[in-house]
Structure 1
Amino acid sequence: MEDELNVTYITLGGHVEVYKYRILYFVILFTVYILIICSNSIIVYLICFHKSLHEPMYIFIAALLLNSILYSTAIYPKLLIDFLSEKQIISYPACLFQSVIFYSFGGSEFLLLSAMAYDRYVSICKPLQYPTIMTITTVKIILVLAWLLPAGEVTGTISLNANEKLCKYILNGIFCDNAIYKLQCVSSTAQNIFGVVILLNIALLPMLFIVFTYTRILTIIYNSSKDVKKKAAQTCLPHLLVLINFSILCTYNIVKNRLEYDLSKTVHLIMTLQLVVYHPLLNPIIYGLAMKEISKHLKTLFCQAKY
């Protein structure tokens, strides 16, 4: 009983009139969550089931969509519970854990996108060397690093600050992110430095790498035939759309937490929901429609389902 009394609870203060629209919020977000799981899982299933899709490019797509499911699962269950609860609260240890999961899978997203960019770079710029460079062993190593590196860095940083004393207990958000540091009594210089280092490692450096690879790809295909340009566009454009979408939303989240924006609660809620709704929901749509081979298998799957 004493342990329960000693637990520190944080109020998630980013909700807007949840007492009035709790059922509406729950139904909409629950529907979105089911759609995210089903749409992403279908593409992952197709890639695993069909041997013609057992290529590095499609394996990375499957990993990215699986990451979207895990990323969403870190947020939605707690969010749905909060909609039906009288109080939107979370224990401090649980809040730190949610923050670790959120940023770990967010970092994995950037690393997986950079891996996909590298795969396209080798395929288009070094086609003869592609089979020897992008081996199954290379793909496995990339996938392991894409998930372990962000998790290790984020866990280490947050663990260093887990025992910091809190002076505030209301978090301006609907889930736990790095805004949790604003609740601490003293701002740690080491914490800020580690935060910048992690941001460089799992977001900015992968972004610069992606820009470099696509610049090289554009240089190579500039004087190529129309068929080469068309093929490059079909495989590269979906990755760029996903990257741009995710980057914009992450930039908002980072800037919003680092700087004090005088935004209304409603605007802040809408912008935050975009991060956990649009991106994981749009990913399977983009890849399902834009990637010719995946689209072909999707049509076959749905045609079979009708009969």
Structure 2
Amino acid sequence: ELPEWAKMPEPEKMDYKTNPDYIKLQQEISAIKAKNEELIKMLPPGIWERHMELRKNIYEKFKSIVGMDPEEMLADAIKKVEEFKEPAFVNEEKSPVFQMKRELDAKIEAIRKKTVETIKAAVPSKSREELKEQTDNAMDAVYAGITAPTDENATRCLNLGNACPETHEGLLSLLTFWCYGNLTPNMEQIVRTPPELPPTGLNSLLLKCALTEGGTREFKERMKLYFEIGREVVFGINNWSEFLTEMEPPHHKIGHGGFTGVIGKVPDDASMKQAAEKALNDAGNKKFERFRG
């Protein structure tokens, strides 16, 4: 049941007989009838009577099949037209239902804007300098966590990753913590990391990197590069030895001997070239096994 405020007002009743078009039509019909009577009087004697007799026979045959003769059908059609009521037109500007919808939409939009403003006030956006400091710290924590997987470094990865989890570096820091294998470092009770958590996190991170705007490589090219870098690590072509020797993390020396995916293309550097060729030769002869470090 619709409430009273939502009901449409009753349409105004209009007498079609007062409609100017209807009056004009009736006048034309009357003129046609008068003209018809004049034409009938001009016919030779007996012609009209014979016509009416034939029409009667035809109408009776028609009525026996259809149920009404043509004149009755015409009269019935006129009656239905006269009794027809046009359905009420819903005026969205005046309809109480649509007015209530507009008011409700306006209230929802006002609440949404206020909520966004409140969130922004409570959690202000990070400045460029603050975000850079957080991502730099996260990368340092990642390097420390990989080269020296201790409770202290694992905790640092967790804390610094949580500081900027929306960034690539923050997610990588959390991923490094998950790879540590213990979700409760610095505690006697050890809670093992679910085995599917690190690979799922790595998959998400690679996808996030591959979909990032900018750069010269398309999505497929990036994914292929990541795969080659993975093989580069697994086959020992790049194990960060020079960075560990120089005590300089690879993310501090971008473009200087970092991960490049050299298996896909043999590098120019002599030592790296030799290592790549050896890895390619050994790849088909050795079974891949999990390894430490």
Same fold (TM over 0.5): no
Q: Greater relative contact order: 1 or 2 (C-alpha under 8 angstroms, separation 6 or more)?
A: 1
Q: Name the one with the larger helix percent.
A: 1
**TM-score under structure 2 length normalisation:** 0.21
Indicate the structure (1 or 2) with the bigger Cα radius of gyration.
2
